[in-house]
Structure 1
């Protein structure tokens, strides 16, 4: 009996000890596992702060606007008629750059340079002049015109610039056509995309990597005087004006007070840059043809983003380029029009702005 009591007591003591240990044990909280994150590399940090990260890989060389792929099509320079019987023109709104020179008398013509956009039809197309084809050549463009004086045609046939004369394709309906709603010589139109095919047939190069002009970045500001409207007077009966729209940062062009629009689409001519250069003009024959000095440089204006600034222009490899403080001035991305005016009336009397 005594032995049984001892065994029972030992068992009871063991049970009480086990319960006491169980109650004294507190739950152990697990430490949270921290997620491992990789530190950015120096290259990744540089890319995040690099202002050029969002810049397009490719741009059009004459407009500075983004291109989906590297532009390799050669520029085309077209002689576009600006007689009042030739307005409104077709396809002029699509040109990357347009030069407005005086032709004869109080009449100007355009050299329209196309590269980023090649419209189906451009015109009316008119005859050649030396300072137009010299400018086209400086752009390394294919020069397209319709007819020329014998002494000019002689140089063009000799290959002074790669060219296509509409007189040899007059109304062939593939390259040139005559429109019935206008009378000659204001009714010749070129089917611009077909220029490349005809050029190839004539062993004229149709691909070229053109050197890009200098363009402003989004962060760069322009200085100068306010210029909401700019008026340019060639003659009393030949005036050009540009009106600024701050919402688009572009200027709408007017010719003799009438908005410049496309004949077919009625789209207005809107430009991001206006250049005005004054230079010597000299009448060289009884028809009123001119010599225009493109070499000597001189004074000018650069108008962009609602501001106008006095500049100098210099001939750089055949191109009349703007300079500020000895450096090539940057253009705002977009289309550019260059108005070349005689020294009389010149900038002081021929250009006004407000």
Structure 2
């Protein structure tokens, strides 16, 4: 049975979020440097496959102001969030909307910069993910060894914690170049990628926060997860409060369903060592994520889902900074598919420069194609890696 999202967000007042983890961090991604170990505040995921719904309006309670002395940021439940994001469209709404989701900003838009976190997805040791469902946009790209890794973008809502946090890749730099100088949180990198990241910081592309430099006190290792480096977490809400800068401009256009959209049940992206499926859930009116043939659950046992799934076929080259790692070329143009509202539309994507927003046009008519207001996952796939699922394949996934 599909249910509404049980993780009703709470307002987290600035005094609480201003509490910072006291830590002395050093070392790069995947290292064994000493960082604080924090006991988990949520249980191991239950064996449910609830898909978070965006079709109902939920009343959002607020918390009273509390002292940072009595409730430090490291002990607030992981479901607490900064900001209260609207989770559904409102008919006739003419007010402000969140720039990265297009959803009504009933309490006004945030003046904070976007927060981007590099999130691991190497294998089962990366599970469960924490805070990924709250992201406005999630990019998924190839890394080495035939697997993928996430780049989660937060603005309308920021969860208290996000993880597991992993090391940066060359692909990340251009991908977040259109977010108007966001804060980028990552767990170190090798020397070559580190030099690329530092150059991008110097150019004003983003503000870097990592375990080996500025912002290292926001990172910690979570007790009860897999071994290092799969236990790295970031105090994302506190980091967002500490970030300075401007909010992002929209990177997608939101609007009506394309006339050329055709109904489908699901889509598969098959990488060398990764099978990723998206299946349309009629009950939740969202695309439910499957990973290696089973529902991909977060730390609360809720299946991850998206309002839009944008499959962009891109070229990859070997990173000049890390010969072991593929680098996605996310500028230029190419083909793709937009999944929204239980349909698929063939699109042509274009983005001449890293600072430009994504432009989508119908690959038959040339008309502009719009996303549904909501949260979007972007798959940076190689040509021929994706296919539409047939009913039998969907039935095997959903039982």
* Range class of TM-score, shorter chain: 0.7 to 0.9
| 1:228 matches 2:251 | no
Aligned length: 289
1:119-130 residue pairs with structure 2 within 5 A? 119-130=159-170
Q: Distance in 2 between matches of 1:131 and 1:328?
A: 26
Inter-CA distance 351–66: structure 2 relative to 1 (3 Å threshold): same
The CA deviation at 1:238 is 0.3
Question: Residue 168 of structure 1: which of 192, 197, 212 is its match?
Answer: 212
Task: Kindly provide the CA deviation profile for residues 189-239 of structure 1, in whole angstroms up to 9, marking residues without a partner as x.
Answer: 00111113544xxxxx3332523632125xx5654222112111122x301
In the alignment, the residues of structure 1 paired with residue 328 and residue 316 of structure 2 have an alpha-carbon distance, to the nearest angstrom, of: 5
Q: 1:74 to 1:165 in 2, by over 3 A?
A: closer
1:253 alignment counterpart? 289
Larger RCO (CA within 8 A; separation ≥ 6): 2
Moved more, 125-134 or 189-198: 189-198
Partners of 1:233 and 1:73 lie apart in 2 by: 36
- Per the alignment, do residues 334 and 222 of structure 1 end up closer, same or farther by CA in structure 2, a change over 3 Å counting? farther
Q: 2:307 touches 2:375 (CA, 8 Å); kept in 1?
A: yes
Task: Work out whether residues 332 and 353 of structure 2, in 8 Å CA contact, stay in contact via their aligned partners in 1.
Answer: no
Structure 1 residue 169, shift from structure 2 partner: 6.5
SS in 1 for 2:175: helix
Picking from 283, 290, 301, the partner of 2:337 is: 301
Query: Which structure features the higher share of helix residues?
Result: 1
- Equivalent position of 2:232 in the other structure: 188
* SS, match of residue 83 in structure 1: coil
Q: How does 1:64-143 map to 2 (within 5 A)?
A: 64-67=102-105, 68-84=107-123, 85-140=125-180, 141-143=182-184
* Aligned-partner Cα distance in 1 for 2:331–2:179: 15
Partner of 1:323: 361
Residue in structure 1 matched with residue 68 of structure 2 by the alignment: none
Secondary structure class of the residue paired with 2:271: strand
1:275 alignment counterpart = 310
From the superposition, tell whether residues 292 and 226 of structure 1 become closer, same or farther in structure 2 (CA, over 3 Å): same
Moved over 6 A (4+): 169-172
Does the CA contact (< 8 Å) of 2:135 and 2:154 recur in 1?
A: yes
The separation in 1 between residues aligned to 2:245 and 2:301, in whole angstroms, is 30
Instruction: Give the direction of change, closer, same or farther, for the CA distance of 1:212–1:130 in structure 2 (3 Å limit).
Output: closer
- 1:286-297 to structure 2, matched below 5 A, reads 288-297=324-333
Deviates more, 1:98-107 or 1:309-318: 309-318
Instruction: Quote the RMSD (CA, aligned, Å).
Output: 2.5
Closer, same or farther: CA 321–88 of 1 in aligned 2, 3 Å: farther
Q: Does the CA contact (< 8 Å) of 1:169 and 1:176 recur in 2?
A: no
Q: Does structure 2 retain, via aligned residues, the 8 Å contact 1:274–1:336? A: yes
Kindly indicate whether residue 93 of structure 2 is the aligned counterpart of residue 55 of structure 1. yes
Aligned match of 1:178: 221
Task: Please tell me whether the aligned partners of residues 328 and 380 of structure 2 are also in contact (alpha carbons under 8 angstroms).
Answer: no
* Counterpart position of 1:155: 196
**Shift of residue 104 of structure 1?**
0.9
Is the 1:74–1:210 contact (alpha carbons within 8 Å) kept by the matching residues of 2? no
CA contact 1:222–1:305 (8 Å) conserved in 2: no
Give the drift of 1:53: 8.8
SS in 1 for 2:370: coil
For structure 1, which runs of at least 5 residues remain unmatched after alignment? 1-51, 200-204
The 1:326/1:103 distance shift into structure 2, 3 A limit, reads same
Does structure 2 conserve the Cα–Cα contact (< 8 Å) formed by 1:125 and 1:188?
A: yes
Q: How far apart in 2 are the matches of 1:269 and 1:53? A: 26
Residues 196 and 206, structure 1, Cα contact 8 Å, conserved in 2:
no
156 and 275 in structure 1: CA distance in 2 versus 1, 3 angstrom threshold: same
Q: Which residue of 2 aligns with 1:15?
A: none
User: Residue 71 of structure 1: CA displacement?
Assistant: 2.8
